[in-house]
Structure 1
Amino acid sequence: MRELTIEDVRAAVKGGSVFACGGGGWVDHGLEIGGAAVAVGRPKLVQVDELPDDAIIITATAIGAPAGRDWEMIGTDYIKAVKLLMDNYDGKVVGIMTPQNGMSSTINGWLPAAALDLVVVDATGDIRAHPTGKFGTMGMAGRIDHETIQVVVGGKRATGSYLELVVKGTTAKTSSVLRTAADMAGGFIAAARLPLPASYVKKHAAVGGVSLAIELGKAIIEVEEQGAEAIIQTICDFTKGEIIGSGKVIKKDVIYSGGWDIGTIVLDVQGLPLTLHVMNEYMAVDDSEGTRLSTFPEVITTLSTKSGEPVSVGDVQEGMELAVLRVKKEYIPLSSGVKDPSVYPEVERALGVSLVEYAFQSQE
């Protein structure tokens, strides 16, 4: 167990931005909420093995689409979501984890943990960001024999879109309800969900996911003054990743629909198109002949060739020069959630491309 600091906040946002894979929130929001966490309390990061098997861990997150522009989430929304879950759950909550890394999602639970005297658990539901909550549920999405509880809080007070919702049911059904609530609240909303014992998290989460983001962030910060090439090389070295294409964005066809940003981004790579398939995050990459180069759950991230910084889907513009990072799945911890075939069809239908046949292929 160790106390998290403002330096950890900055590093978590830097490293989390790589694992954001084009989504995972916003840098400014992550710094704001993380800064508030270390200002109001002393959040502590614990390894899941430090907790007894029966200790209850919940997941704190934000749900929505990175390009959504009409949302409002303030620090108290994250705290209230966790408090409402604790008030409506028949058990003692000990710790908070995040369902994914991201620009802000790596530190999702730090503020409510600090405010409510809980610990931050060094585990993630997925090492990288993903489009639906089901990917981050550590294999619970397909369970119809388990009732869970999920809570959302947020929305613009000035426009009357603020809402609070407590819902119980199967993980799959309640996750769909939360996505609708996020859309109704303006595109993004704070959430707390899925109380599970530490014994389950130990077996099914991406254990050590928060520390991984922090350490990557520290490595990036050390070389920032050396420029873009040094940053990109450091990211590749740390993650064992590779640049699978680099060029100018020649087309961005991404629209907001039903709580998601869906579409494609095309780069001109030495005169040939490279297509990135987007559902909030980058889910697949195809070359000019339609050959699949990378598929979720691999890490797929766009990096600015000018700054070396990760560029989110919402910030990508035509004319930008980007490098596409791929980290093979053999080099990242994979949770049970991303190994669950039942969570893929919803995304495949939205994108119109196959994912599951590639996601479960043995690594070359």
Structure 2
Amino acid sequence: MRILTEEDVWAAVRGGSVFASGGGGWVDHGLQIGNAAVSIGQPKLVSVDELPDDAIIITATAIGAPAGTDWQMLGTDYIKAVQLLQENYDGKIVGVMTPQNGMSSSINGWLPAALLGLVVVDATGDIRAHPTGKMGSMGLAGIQDYETVQVVVGGKRETGSYLELVVKGSPAKTSNILRTAADQAGGFIASARHPLPASYIKKHAAIGGISIAIELGKAIIAAQPEGAEHVINTIVNHTQGTLLGKGIVTERNVHYSGAFDIGTITVEVPGGEALTLHVMNEYMAVDDAKGNRLTTYPDVITTLSGETGLPVSIGHVKAGAELAVLSVHKSKVPLSTSVKDPSVYPEVEKALGISLAEYAFDGVEPVIVDKL
């Protein structure tokens, strides 16, 4: 156990930005919420092994599309979501975790943890960011008879889009309801969900996900004074990743639909070749000019700025920008049960119009959870 600091906030945002895979929130929002957390209290980061098996842990996050422009999430919204979950759950909640790393999502639970006396658990539902709640639910999507509690809070008060919603039911059905709520609230909304015993987290989460992001972030911060190329090389070396190419963005065909950003981004690399990056809130796959698949979720897929070396989110990718495309193979990161669950892929494959599962399960044994 250790107390999280302002240095950790910066590192979590920088490292989380790589694992954001083009999504995962916003740097400014992450710094704002993280600094508020370490100013208002002393959030504690704990290993899940430090908690008894019956300690209840919840997931705190934000739901929506990174390119959404009409949303509002205040620090109080994250806190209110956790409070509403506490009020609607018959048991004592001990800790909070995040379903994914990201520019802000690595620290989503730090503020309510600091204010409400909870611990931040060093685990993630998925080491990288992903488009659907099911992909960060640690296998819950396949449990038909499990009743969960999910809460969302957020939206602009002045326009009447502010919402508070508590839903109970199967993880699969309630996740779809929360996505609709995010859309109605302007594109993004704060959430708290899935009270689970530590025994389940130990077995099904990506253990150490927050520490991994923080350590990568510290390396990036140390490399920044040396310039963009040094930052890119540091990220590649630290993650044991591979640069698929470096070139110019020639096309950005991404549209907002139902709290998702969906489409493609094309990067032309030397030799007249082109990389097609498939987007559903995050980068989900990359094909070469001949249609050959180069990398697929749950690989980490990130675009890095040619000017700064830092990750660039999908919402900030512009035609004419120079980007390096990074892939970190799934064998180099801890994988949760979420990404091994075949049931989480069909809706994403349908939205993108491409295959994911056949590549995602290459070398990975599928896991179907039928009970807690």
Q: Which residue of 1 aligns with 2:63?
A: 63
Q: Which residue of 1 aligns with 2:294?
A: 293
What pairs up with 1:155-166 in 2 under 5 angstroms? 155-166=155-166
Runs of 4+ in 1 over 6 A off after TM superposition: none
Q: CA deviation at 1:269?
A: 1.1
Residue 21 of structure 1 aligns to which amino acid in structure 2?
A: S
Q: TM-score, normalised by structure 1?
A: 0.99
**Distance across 1 between alignment mates of 2:199 and 2:175:** 23
SS at match of 2:60: strand
Residue 289 of structure 2 aligns to which amino acid in structure 1?
A: S
Q: Which residue of 2 aligns with 1:332?
A: 333
Q: Which residue of 2 aligns with 1:147?
A: 147
**Distance across 2 between alignment mates of 1:115 and 1:307:** 35
CA RMSD in angstroms, aligned pairs only:
0.6
**Distance across 2 between alignment mates of 1:362 and 1:169:** 33
Residue 274 of structure 1 aligns to which amino acid in structure 2?
A: L
Q: CA deviation at 1:142?
A: 1.1
2:267 pairs with 1:256: no
Q: Which residue of 2 aligns with 1:359?
A: 360
SS at match of 1:141: helix
SS at match of 1:318: coil
Residue 304 of structure 1 aligns to which amino acid in structure 2?
A: S
2:199 pairs with 1:174: no
What pairs up with 1:30-41 in 2 under 5 angstroms? 30-41=30-41
Residue 321 of structure 1 aligns to which amino acid in structure 2?
A: E
SS at match of 2:22: coil
2:204 pairs with 1:204: yes
Q: Which residue of 1 aligns with 2:29?
A: 29
Q: CA deviation at 1:22?
A: 0.1
Q: How many residue pairs end up in the alignment?
A: 363
Percent identity among equivalent residues?
73
What pairs up with 1:4-23 in 2 under 5 angstroms? 4-23=4-23
Q: CA deviation at 1:245?
A: 1.1
Q: Which residue of 2 aligns with 1:316?
A: 317
Residue 69 of structure 2 aligns to which amino acid in structure 1?
A: R
Q: TM-score, normalised by structure 2?
A: 0.97
Q: Which residue of 2 aligns with 1:305?
A: 306
Q: Which residue of 2 aligns with 1:272?
A: 273
Q: Which residue of 2 aligns with 1:44?
A: 44
Q: CA deviation at 1:305?
A: 1.2
Alpha-carbon displacement from aligned partner over 1:281-304 (angstroms, at most 9, x marks no partner): 000000000000000000000001
**Distance across 2 between alignment mates of 1:167 and 1:50:** 30
Q: CA deviation at 1:234?
A: 0.6
**Distance across 2 between alignment mates of 1:143 and 1:179:** 19
**Distance across 2 between alignment mates of 1:173 and 1:91:** 23
**Distance across 2 between alignment mates of 1:120 and 1:362:** 32
**Distance across 2 between alignment mates of 1:208 and 1:136:** 15
Q: CA deviation at 1:272?
A: 1.3
**Distance across 2 between alignment mates of 1:323 and 1:5:** 31
Q: Which residue of 2 aligns with 1:118?
A: 118
Alpha-carbon displacement from aligned partner over 1:174-200 (angstroms, at most 9, x marks no partner): 000000000000000000000000000
**Structure 2 gap segments, 5+ residues each:** 365-372
Q: Which residue of 2 aligns with 1:127?
A: 127
Alpha-carbon displacement from aligned partner over 1:265-323 (angstroms, at most 9, x marks no partner): 00111211110000000000000000000000000000011110100000000000000
